Copies of this chain bind each other. A is one copy, B any other.
Amino acid sequence: MTESIDSKDRAAIEAIVKQLEAAWNAADGDAFAEPFADDADFITIRAEHILGRAAIASGHAGIFRTIYAGSVNQLTLEALRLLRPDVALIHVHAQLDVPAGPLQGKQNARFSAVLTREKGGWQIVSLHNMAIPPNAQR
């Protein structure tokens, strides 16, 4: 069951996606993790299950310094719907360009995420990322 979403909620969620993109491109792990709930679940493209904002921040700070150093990520919000008035489901496509290193080149990923609206605004409570296989890239 999908509920209609008002423009204010939509704008807030779009801003969170933009913040993830900007934080990635600034290689800022803390800024990347900021939209997540304290106890958020994060499944990486390696199928690792990271628990909590602090671990999301340090994990991303690590990859921003190493395998994804200098990379540029472009996020596109493909779908957004409300499961409840205060629970949203999004699907986002990521196009990543890595300038050097073992992962050099362009890569595509897709993540789904669940957000809830709390007193302080919308937060990501769960994110499941995945690489798109090269033979299915788009």
A contacts, CB < 8 Å to B: 1-2, 37, 39, 41, 43, 46-49, 78-79, 83-84, 86-87, 89, 91, 109-112, 114, 116, 118, 125-126, 128, 130-133, 136
Contact = CB atoms under 8 A, between A and B. Distances in A.
Contacts of A79: 41, 49
A47 B89 contact: no
Contacts of A2: 39
B84 A86 contact: yes
Contact of A47 (B1, B84, B118, B130): B130
A49 B89 contact: no
A116 to B, nearest CB: 6
A49 B109 CA distance: 12
Nearest to A39: B2
A85 to B, nearest CB: 10
Given A46-B136, A47-B130, A112-B126, 9 more contacts: A1-B118, A1-B125, A41-B89, A47-B110, A47-B131, A83-B126, A89-B126, A112-B128, A128-B130
